[in-house]
Structures are given as structure tokens and as C-alpha cells.
Amino acid sequence: MIAAVDFTHVSRQFGSGAAAVRAVDDVSLAIAEGEFFAMLGPSGSGKTTCLRLISGFESPNEGTIRIFGQDMGAVPPNRRHVNTVFQDYALFPHMTVRDNVAYGLMVRGMDRRTRLARAEEMLALVHLPEFGGRKPGQLSGGQRQRVALARALVNEPRVLLLDEPLGALDLKLREAMQDELKSLQKRLGITFVFVTHDQGEALSMADRVAVFSRGKIVQTGSPAEVYERPATRFVADFVGSSNVLSPEQSARLGGPARWTSLRPEAIRLAGEGTPGTVTALRYLGAGTRVAVALEAGLDLGVLLPAGAPVPAPGEAVRLTWERSAMHAMEGEE
Amino acid sequence: MSAALEPAHPPRGPGDRLTGLFWRRPWVLLALLLAPPLLWLGVVYVGSLVALLWQSFYSIDEFSGMVVPELTLKTYAELLRPSNADVILRTATMAAAVTLASAVLAFPIAYYAARYAKGRWKAAFYLGVMLPLWSSYLVKVYAWKLILAKEGIVTWAFEGLGAGNLLNAVLAIPVIGGNSLSTSYMGTFLVFLYVWLPFMILPMQASLERVPATMLEASSDLGARPGQTFRHVILPLAMPGVIAGSIFTFSLTLGDYIIPQIVGSSRLFIGQAVYTLQGTAGNIPLAAAFAVVPILIMLVYLAVARRLGAFDAL
């Protein structure tokens, strides 16, 4: 089966000589058709550049990018079957919402009546049926986001790119939009590729996640794989802030003599086990995060579920966990 | 119980007391700040304009040459006499031509400066555009008279390139041609274009600068060719700047009386008509009526621009 998006040893470099920065460094990846794919990483990790390489606003210095098998080397953005939802939405302020949504059809020469009818259909799809006559300036952030989505979808792209799609929305709206994007993607069957620095967003929406660091993909896998079996210390720390143990520390705590990840929620307070002292508490609502200094000169984060008794700072506690929760990671990074 | 808290520090002199007053009564500060500019704008600026408008409704006694201070539309009727209407038409046509040409010439410059120029090049751009504004207007106009004269460098260059006939052919065009560039409408047009061009470039550049790059990417992403992006996105978003620039070039050309005096045919422009009427002829009412014309033209122009949606992107 042909991948929807395929990167083969793609590099993108900015600047030249000593000041050169490899924003994307020898990345190979394949995104399957109909997949909801997340590119996750901190700012400057190359994820956005990868997205722009797919949309065509950047060209690779090395490597090839294929979309449904077709080499994109000489194909400009306006001739790719790919549409983007921009981070700042980039709605045209001088046009009505309806004209914004119909823009892609207008530049293709579709007659006014047909394209405006199509625009109305798309607005209904994103639950904004009565907003066609307004200007983008009269909409809220969440509504603009939906208009941007409708405008990108009206062209019936084979791949939809979303750049930090929920970044500008408040928490409540973000959660609602997560569910909505997910169900929209299921319904339309289009390949969605989205970029985010929010691991929660990536884990909850995506079928598959690629974790970026310094221009490279450090791990690709399902959200569960990435979360439960992080490949590197970077992934363990970036995705859900794990306790990362050095080989010696791990061995002392009864684990393998390797770099090891131990998730805070896998640790329990018990009557017996490794002794330590509570140094700090952070109340999270759905639980409490407790920092415990072990006698071994090591801090462990422990996530207590809501309702569990919470120790006081300074209190001596004992920690216990399943040995299988200690996940050994490959490599040194 | 503790004693009432003392202020952190007692007032330290009149400055502190004044600050206290401003804090308690914010309108005092507002009034103090606004009074001088409002006085200037309301009395000196708008007031004199109203006085001017008022006088255009006076008329002149044809026998005594004295101004009759009674309100009448007689002077405006005089404005429509063929010789006067010609002046108006000539000036308006020139202003329109200058505006159009400066818009076409300014756009690529402004676009380059807004989109591509960075750091040092941007500084060079501002310097290049503003430098001509810093030197004397009269010096520039007289310099242009020499450049465009029959013995000037333009003629010399055309002949040197073996294109002297081309220049003569251009000068032979009726109405806009003439004996030499410096005595033709074309010369007047060129000097106007030169002198007012910065006033078109700067607002245009400012409005282009405000168009986010993602807007252009979005257009291309949705399938637009570069030409379509220009027509449907860049141009409408730059329109407020173009209109602002054209207000400058248009109204400055409408009101100028020095350039057509120095460079061009001896036919009158509105500014010159006002100048002669209020001076030697002593016909203040007609001069005032002439002065009203550019104001009316500008109002009509702005109304039309608004109608066409030029301010939709504001």
C-alpha cells in the first residue's frame, strides 16, 4: 500500500556555513492513508518544518518527499492535494466567512452559486451554519478555528495538515475540539497530520505519534507505545514527565542496569518498600504529585490518585512499584 | 489593634501634589493634554477653512472690483465658465495621472521593502525614499527644469544614444507634448511624480507590512496562483495604504502652484489660479471657490473609494 506521505532521508537546512542549522535532519517516515498522525516535540525540534515540507512552503535540501507515491520535488504548494489549517488561522480579513471558505473553489474557477453552496455545506459540517455572512473579525477564536478547518476541507484534500490547531484555544474549548477533530477525521477518512508541543493532545487524538527532538524523529509509535515504552530519556521526560533513572540508580532500586523510565503513577505509598522523605506536594485536582527524596540521594515523582491519603512534607514514607513498571530504554540519550 | 496606616510617604512638593490631583480627577489631565491641539485644530485650522468657504459665497462687484459680502452662488457659476472649468479639468486630470503613475511605480518598491528587505537593506530603503524629502522643494524643481530643458541632460542622453528622434516624436504628441520636456505637460507630470512619489511609497509599505506572510501562504495552499493571490489577497489588503498614498499624491497635485509655474506649459492649474486671483486680481471670492474644488474632489474620491470597498480591510 502506498503511504499518504513518505519522507526518505529528508533534510532541511537553514542558513549556510558555520551558522547553518539543520532544522530537519535525515528524517524518514511513512504516514498511512486515513491515519491521524501527530508530530510531537518542543519548539525548534523540526516538527513545524516537516509540516511545511509536506505543504510545500519549504523544500528539502536532501531527500525525497512523496505524497501518494508522487514525488513532490517540483510541485508548488498550490498544486498539491494537501491543505493546511494554519496556527494563526490566516483567515482573509476582508472577506466574509462564506467567501473565505469558498476561496479554494473560487481560484479553481468554480461558479459563484455552486461554490457558495459548497461553502455553506462545509460551514454546517463544522457547526457554524449561520455565520457565513460575518467577517472573521467578528468571530471568537474557536469559531475562527472552525472556519479555517472548513476552508481547508472544502478543497477535499487527501492530506490535511494542522499546525498547532488548538494552541490558541482555552482549555475547555480545546478538549471539545479534540473530540470533534477526531470524529471529523473518522467520518471523512482523510489523512490528518498535526503538529503539537502538547503531549496530552498528541496522546489523546493521534493514531500514531512521532516524537521530534533536534531535527530528528526519536520515536514513532502508537500513543500507548510512546507513553509506556519510551525509546529514549528524552521521550520519557517529554511525554508525561517520567522518572528517569541512570543505570546505577536503576540497579540499586532493583531494576536493570540500564537507563530506565518509571512512571509516577506506577509508584504507590505502602507500609513497606523503599524508604524516602516527602519534600514537596503539588495538588493537581485529579490527583496529587508528591516529590520523594530517597535515601539513595535520588528524587522520585509519585502521582497519588484523588482520594488517596496524602502525606505531609517532611514525612517519612515507603514506596513500592511493580518491577515490570521499570522500562529500560535503549541508547544513552 | 494598631493605629491607622500612614501613607507610604507624605507629598514631596508641588509635583507630587499635581500628580495626586491628576490621579483623583483624571479629566483634568485629559483636558490639559487636549486643550492645545484642539485649539489649534478647531480654531486655527478648521476655523480658517470655514472662513475660506464662507468667502466663496461672496461675490465681486464687476464695476468697482469690491467684494460684496452677501451670500450668493454667483461665484460658483463663474467657476463653470469654460476658461475656469478648463483649469479644473486640467488639474484634476494631472492629479489623477500622477496618482495612478505613482501607485504603479510605488507598488513594487513598497512590496520589496515590506516583504524582502531586512536590516541594512531596509535602512537603505528608508533613506532612499526619504532623502529627497529632506532637500528643498524649490531646489529640486529648478534642478528638474534644467534636467528637462532643451539643452539639458535628458535631451543630451537621448541624442547620445541615437534616440533623439524618439524624444522628438514623443514631444510631437499633441496636448501633452511641446517645445521641450520642460515646457510640456509631460515635464510637469514627471516632476510631480518625482516629488510626490515618497508620499505614495511609505503608506503603501506600511499597509503591506501588516499583511502576515501566512495569509499569502494560505492563499497558495488553497490553490491560488501567484497572480490570483495578488488580486484577491495582497491588493485588497494593501488598498487602505494605496488610498492613503493617493490622498497625498492627489491632493498635493491638486493644490500645487509652483511646479506648473516652473516646469510646463503656461496654462494655469488650480493652485496658480488661486494665487493670481487672490493676489493681483483681488478676486478673493473666486479664489476661495477655486480652493473649494480640491476639497470637493477629494470628498467625492473618498466616497467612491469607500463604495468600492477600499476600506474593507481596515
The answer to whether residue A54 scores a pLDDT higher than 80 is yes
> DSSP code of A281?
E
pLDDT, tens digit, for every residue of A270-308?
888 888 999 999 998 888 999 999 877 788 999 999 888
Domain ranges across chain A:
5-235, 244-328
The answer to whether residue A328 scores a pLDDT higher than 60 is yes
> DSSP code of B127?
H
Mean pLDDT of B144-170: 88
Mean pLDDT of B145-150: 91
At A62 the pLDDT is 93
Higher local confidence (pLDDT), A131 or B7:
A131
The answer to whether residue B146 scores a pLDDT higher than 60 is yes
At A332 the pLDDT is 59
The per-residue pLDDT of chain B, averaged, comes to 88
> In chain B, what are the domains?
74-307 (1.10.3720.10)
The answer to whether residue B1 scores a pLDDT higher than 60 is no
Nearest-by-CA chain B residue for A84: B221
Cβ contacts from A onto B, under 8 A: 67
ipTM (interface predicted TM): 0.85
pLDDT, tens digit, for every residue of B182-233?
889 999 999 999 999 999 999 999 999 989 999 999 999 999 999 999 999 9
The answer to whether residue A101 scores a pLDDT higher than 70 is yes
Mean pLDDT of B52-80: 85
Residue type, A122: M
Return the closest-CA partner of residue A6 out of A75, A65, A77. Answer: A65
pLDDT, tens digit, for every residue of A59-84?
999 999 999 999 998 899 989 999 99
Q: Closest approach of chain A CAs to the CA of B314, in angstroms? A: 8
Mean pLDDT of A20-33: 92
At A5 the pLDDT is 94
The answer to whether residue A106 scores a pLDDT higher than 60 is yes
At A331 the pLDDT is 64
| Chain B residues contacting A via beta carbons under 8 Å | 212, 214-215, 217-225, 228, 232-233, 236-237, 309, 312-313
At B16 the pLDDT is 85
C-alpha cell at B185: 505637460
The per-residue pLDDT of chain A, averaged, comes to 91
Strand order in the sheet with A268-270: A268-270, A316-320, A274-283, A287-294, A298-305
In this prediction, residue B266 has a pLDDT band, given cuts at 50, 70 and 90, of confident
In this prediction, residue B18 has a pLDDT band, given cuts at 50, 70 and 90, of confident
Residue type, B47: G
| Nearest-angstrom CA–CA distance, B290 and B53 | 10
Question: Under CATH, which number does the domain A5-235 receive?
Answer: 3.40.50.300
Q: Closest approach of chain B CAs to the CA of A200, in angstroms? A: 27
Topology of domain A244-328, per CATH? OB fold (Dihydrolipoamide Acetyltransferase, E2P) (2.40.50)
The answer to whether residue B2 scores a pLDDT higher than 70 is no
The answer to whether residue A333 scores a pLDDT higher than 60 is no
| Chain A residues contacting B via beta carbons under 8 Å | 55, 57, 76-79, 82-84, 86-88, 90-94, 103-104, 106-108, 151-152, 155
* DSSP H stretches of helix in chain B: 14-24, 26-39, 48-55, 74-79, 82-115, 119-134, 137-148, 153-160, 164-171, 185-209, 213-221, 226-229, 235-255, 259-262, 270-278, 284-307
At B302 the pLDDT is 87
Mean pLDDT of B103-128: 91
Q: Quick one: how far is CA A46 from the chain centroid?
A: 13
The answer to whether residue B3 scores a pLDDT higher than 80 is no
Q: Cβ of B222 and A86 within 8 Å? A: no
In this prediction, residue B93 has a pLDDT band, given cuts at 50, 70 and 90, of very high
Percent of chain A with pLDDT over 90: 64
Mean pLDDT of A134-162: 92
Decide: residue B143, CB within 10 A, 0-12 exposed, 13-18 middle, 19+ buried: middle
SS3 call for B63: coil
Q: Cβ of B224 and A93 within 8 Å? A: no
The answer to whether residue A167 scores a pLDDT higher than 60 is yes
